[in-house]
Copies of this chain bind each other. A is one copy, B any other.
């Protein structure tokens, strides 16, 4: 469904949100361990998210990644679009370039319904809500250690 990059991105942002207290910034080290993703690849993805203003970063001692007030209120769809683009929500289910209402592919309508469902869910779900769920121990991002 989502690319590996996008999965890591979502996991990272949720984790950052869950650890967000004013002023606290998380290092790549901490983030990649928390979400069990490859360190350097995680760094690349955080770079992209930062460029797309999905999150904020600061270099140097005591630097790291964090969400500012506005970023804390972003929705899942903002992350997905920043990493995987809008194709998932606009592209044809069978990969046809010319697929449209007037020249629909055989699964056009049925696929559109699914896609709209997915889009709606991603638009309605906030990062904050998922971060809290993680913080409360109601969900996990990595194997629980004994």
Contacts and interface: CB of A to CB of B under 8 A. Distances in A.
Interface of A: 1-2, 4, 7-8, 10-11, 14, 76, 88, 93-99, 103-108, 110-111, 113-114, 117-118, 121, 125, 130-131, 133-134, 138-144
B121 A113 contact: yes
Nearest to A131: B106
B106 A130 contact: yes
Given A8-B95, A98-B140, A114-B118, 15 more contacts: A1-B1, A4-B95, A7-B95, A96-B142, A97-B143, A98-B143, A103-B144, A104-B138, A104-B140, A106-B141, A111-B121, A113-B117, A113-B121, A114-B114, A114-B117
